[in-house]
Amino acid sequence: MIYQSGNRTTAHLKTLVLLGLIAIPGVASAEPLIPWPWLESSRYSAWNQNRDQVRSDWYARRALDPVGARQKYYKGKVWPPVPRPEGVSQLPTHAYHAAHYWPHPYACYDRQSVRDFVSAQEEAGWTQATTLYDYHFDRDSQTLNRAGRIQLNWIIRSAPPSRRLLYVQAANSITASQYRMASVQNEAQEVLGEMAPPVILRVTTPLGRPAAEVDRIQRADLDSMLAPRISPPLASGGLGGGGSGAAGGP
């Protein structure tokens, strides 16, 4: 038994020595015949990295699968009868992720939709605030009047740099619109020089009315008011006399 055990030990040692000699890189080849798995230069390591990359890309593509049960057609019926996504089912890991972090990512979509809505309103508001309308120009020469110059100075001095754009309402003709843009450009260059913001022609209509027009409407309304038709109250003596007379009657 001892002799057989010694033979087995010797055989194992010979096998290990032989494997070590085979694994030692030769002169012609820099890589051993049996590459060690933990070496970065081995073929196994490169294959393992490529496999991990392919697997990661595959999971990334499947991560966009919709959440929930899939709708299937079976024996003339659609299961379930309510609208559901179709196609392959969601991966178990992704289904667990969706259940664990619910309502993510739908809450993110809702927040982004609100941000987009507010951003659109903010953009429209600043566009309206930085637009020079018809009542900012003289009717005959199409140059900026006093109200237009005040509005222009507010835009180039008080508006944020990202909103510092000069919009001009388009006139009824191309020539009048060009006169308006030239007048605005000249006024802006007198204040800022080459740093003047661009002038953009905009086809729009004012949402409000000029203050002068509102004042005329209010004054005309006050002037056209009819006299009150309710007579003033009677004197206190007449009320008392009538009351006493009525009281002293039969």
Read off the pLDDT of residues 201-235 as tens digits, 9 standing for 90 and up: 999 988 877 778 889 999 998 888 887 766 667 76
pTM for the model stands at 0.55
Q: How do residues 134-192 score in pLDDT, each as one tens digit?
A: 989 999 999 999 999 999 999 999 999 999 999 999 999 999 999 999 999 999 999 88
54 by Cβ neighbours in 10 Å (0-12 / 13-18 / 19+) ranks as: exposed
133 by Cβ neighbours in 10 Å (0-12 / 13-18 / 19+) ranks as: buried
DSSP string, 34-77: S--TT-TTSHHHHHHHHHHHHHHHHHHHHTTSPSSPPPEEETTE
Helix (H, G, I), strand (E, B) or coil at 199: strand
Task: Work out whether the CA dihedral 118, 119, 123, 129 comes out positive or negative.
Answer: positive
Helix (H, G, I), strand (E, B) or coil at 144: strand
Q: Which residues contact residue 67 at a Cβ distance below 8 angstroms, ignoring those fewer than 6 apart?
A: 90, 95, 98
What element of type H or E holds 33?
none
Residue 248: band (very low, low, confident or very high) from pLDDT cuts 50, 70, 90? very low
244 by Cβ neighbours in 10 Å (0-12 / 13-18 / 19+) ranks as: exposed
Q: How do residues 38-86 score in pLDDT, each as one tens digit?
A: 555 666 677 778 888 889 999 999 998 998 889 999 999 999 999 999 8
